[in-house]
């Protein structure tokens, strides 16, 4: 069962043009595109006439023309023209999903009631281009949503799975602290690695060589939003008591976790940094590194999903590093139960 009354990332802003794309989200096929004015539109990707995918249609001005028999839909999903007749049957409309564009991401509301804009995750780093530079991407994984959540909540795997880029021995050996804010519905995982080797991902981009203080503070807001506050600073110089931290480098690593179907999940990511702002070479370096890191996760989760499916009698064993993932599981289970009983 999917948690529907939430915002999920549906697309990268850069993916959307007047040529529609199709994406499966929470089991539903969605056509995503821009009309001539630039507005993003998300419609159910099935023409109500004979069911042809609307994503194979053509945008003409502010409307979408079905690629099969030319029925035409406005941005609200209402059919406004039918070839060969004036009368338009009233049932000829498709669902429009509420969507909001914020920097590199386009969010979608998958609930059937009114969209709750106040529930849209706050992402100021994605829209303040004077202070933050962003690179973004997406991968789709043949694994369950839960496997991706647990992958991201336990970064100790960096040491082993991402050893060439972000994984150093201290990631897996440094203890974590876990907090669950039940009211705000956030799982927090803190890992502060002090006086440790700076991995290539950060040494190349910050210029800090040798040892650094490296902090990884996760805020996971289930179901679909994960935020990692990464701080790289000189050894022994934490943020000032007033919170200012100008001597350190900061990266916000955002993931949008969007179920495609039961065994498939979209993994949207953004790296937003407050250093080397508007440096295209650093953009390219980070995009390449992160694409490699994500691909390592994709490969691992594809294998893990296949293996867990073919060995259903397997009983997992959890240890201290799993506390964040287990907290996320509990919160997701409680949300699912609440959704089922509402």
Give the single-character DSSP code of 295: H
Interacting residues with Fe ion between 266 and 325 (CB under 5 A): 297
Among Fe ion, ligand FES, none, partner that 137 touches (CB below 5 to 8 angstroms by kind): none
Whole-angstrom distance, CA of residue 49 vs CA of residue 73:
12
Binding track, positions 9-48, relative to ligand FES; x by CB under 6 A:
--------------------------------------x-
Residue with smaller CB distance to ligand FES, 88 or 139: 88
Is 50 near ligand FES (CB under 6 A)?
A: yes
- Taking the complex as a whole, the smallest distance from the CB of residue 67 to ligand FES amounts, in Å, to 7
**3 state DSSP class of 218:** strand
Is residue 49 close enough to count as binding ligand FES by CB under 6 A? yes
Closest CA to 5 of 141, 142, 97: 97
Segment interacting with ligand FES, rule: CB under 6 A, options 25-33, 49-57, 199-207, 265-273:
49-57
297 binds, among ligand FES, Fe ion, none (CB under 5 to 8 A by kind): Fe ion
- Write the DSSP string, 195-221: EEEPPHHHHHHH---SEEEEEEEEEEE
81 binds ligand FES (CB under 6 A): no
Query: Long-range contact list for 227-234, CB < 8 A, 24+ apart?
Result: 227/121, 227/252, 227/253, 227/254, 227/255, 228/152, 228/155, 228/252, 228/253, 228/254, 228/255, 230/202, 232/198, 232/202, 232/206, 232/208, 234/208
CB of 68 to ligand FES, least distance (A): 4
Using CB under 6 A, which of 7, 8, 33, 71 touches ligand FES? 71
Number of Cβ within a 10 Å radius of residue 209: 10
Nearer to ligand FES, 52 or 285 (CB): 52
Shortest spacing between CB 152 and Fe ion, in angstroms:
7
Measured between alpha carbons, how far is 342 from 339 in angstroms, rounded to an integer?
Answer: 5
Asked if 237 touches ligand FES (CB under 6 A), the answer is no
Residue 109, strand partner residues: 7
- Assess 58 for contact with ligand FES (CB under 6 A): no
What three-state secondary structure class fits 25?
A: strand
Residues that bind ligand FES (CB under 6 A): 47, 49-50, 52, 66, 68-71
């Amino acid at each position: 069962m999917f948690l529907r009354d939430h915002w999920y990332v549906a697309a990268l802003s850069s993916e959307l043009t007047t040529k529609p794309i199709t994406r499966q989200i929470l089991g539903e096929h969605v056509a995503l595109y821009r009309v001539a004015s630039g507005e993003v539109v998300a419609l159910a990707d099935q023409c109500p006439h004979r069911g042809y995918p609307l994503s194979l249609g053509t945008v003409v001005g502010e409307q979408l023309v079905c690629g099969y028999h030319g029925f035409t839909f406005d941005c609200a999903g209402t059919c406004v023209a039918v070839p060969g007749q004036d009368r338009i049957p009233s049932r000829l409309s498709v669902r429009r999903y509420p969507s909001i564009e914020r920097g590199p991401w386009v969010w979608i509301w998958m609930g059937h009631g009114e969209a709750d804009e106040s529930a849209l995750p706050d992402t100021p780093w994605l829209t303040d281009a004077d202070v933050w530079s962003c690179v973004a991407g997406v991968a789709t994984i043949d694994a369950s949503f839960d496997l991706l959540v647990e992958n991201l909540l336990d970064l100790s795997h960096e040491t082993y799975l991402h050893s060439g880029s972000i994984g150093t021995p201290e990631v897996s050996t440094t203890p974590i602290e876990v907090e669950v804010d039940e009211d705000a519905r956030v799982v927090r995982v803190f890992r502060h690695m002090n006086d440790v080797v700076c991995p290539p991902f950060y040494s190349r981009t910050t210029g800090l060589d040798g040892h650094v203080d490296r902090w990884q503070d996760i805020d996971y807001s289930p179901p679909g939003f994960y935020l990692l506050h990464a701080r790289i600073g000189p050894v022994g110089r934490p943020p000032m008591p007033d919170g200012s931290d100008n001597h350190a480098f900061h990266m916000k690593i955002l993931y949008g976790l969007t179920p495609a179907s039961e065994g498939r999940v979209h993994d949207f990511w953004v790296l937003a940094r407050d250093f080397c702002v508007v440096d295209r070479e650093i953009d390219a370096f980070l995009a390449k590194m992160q694409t490699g890191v994500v691909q390592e996760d994709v490969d691992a989760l594809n294998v893990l999903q296949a293996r867990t499916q073919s060995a259903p009698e397997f009983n997992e064993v959890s240890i201290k590093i799993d506390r964040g993932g287990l907290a996320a599981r509990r919160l997701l289970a409680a949300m699912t139960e609440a959704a089922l009983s509402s």
